[in-house]
A and B are shown apart, each in its own frame.
Chain A
């Protein structure tokens, strides 16, 4: 089974501060994704990537940047954190390049609290 890890697992940040969430996968998947999970909204896609060097905007990209420096790593950056970004963030990787049968493998999640 795919191994996706996230760090940190918990983070408390101050409003206006910079936050970087990191994700690493060890199964050589091309696709990686960042979601946030909020009660009543389910999983909402923030950014995704087709491979090293690529980042694409998802459904709710405002206030977030992403970086994919390598096949294994995908970061989510909050340049100026706001309390509305308090949430649980999940990273996922997928195993189908350009194909629709892409099962997503999720990391354990990061709980972010912005005060």
Chain B
């Protein structure tokens, strides 16, 4: 069945270092992939999502590349900021007659000075 795996529960980084949060998935056909971000005491909101034409989505300095060969959609940023501290969810969406929307367990990113 469809699933999303985020291997790190917590990632702690020093400000200014690069960010990479891992996301791999299993799906039946060709899903769309998403990253959502949830700051403390707020609701999750969309950070970025994959395109159908293989363009690399970017938002607020974050980007992710969908690699179908490795079933991955890792989230990256060149330089972490204190304000990036949040919970990040990877998700996939697929419609194969039935609608599927699956979230990973989430990775908490903590950026320290």
Contacts and interface: CB of A to CB of B under 8 A. Distances in A.
A33 interface: yes
A43 B89 contact: yes
Given A98-B95, A101-B49, A101-B93, A45 B101 contact: yes
B101 A102 contact: yes
A100 B49 contact: no
B99 A108 contact: no
B105 A90 contact: no
A103 B45 CA distance: 9
Interface in A49-104: 50, 90, 94, 98-104
A104 B46 contact: yes
**Interface residues of chain B: helix, strand, loop or mixed (majority):** strand
B101 A90 contact: no
Contacts of A45: 101-103
Contacts of B9: 40
Nearest to A59: B102
A24 B106 CA distance: 26
Interface in B56-105: 89, 93-95, 99, 101-105
B47 to A, nearest CB: 11
Contacts of A109: 43
A107 B43 contact: yes
Chain A CB count within 10 A is highest, among B44, B49, B104, for B44
Contacts of A31: 99
B44 A100 contact: no
A106 B43 contact: yes
Interface of A: 31, 33, 35, 40-45, 48, 50, 90, 94, 98-109
Interface of B: 9, 31-32, 34, 36, 42-46, 49, 52, 89, 93-95, 99, 101-106
Q: Nearest 6 CB-CB pairs, A to B?
A: A106-B43, A42-B105, A43-B103, A42-B106, A100-B93, A100-B95
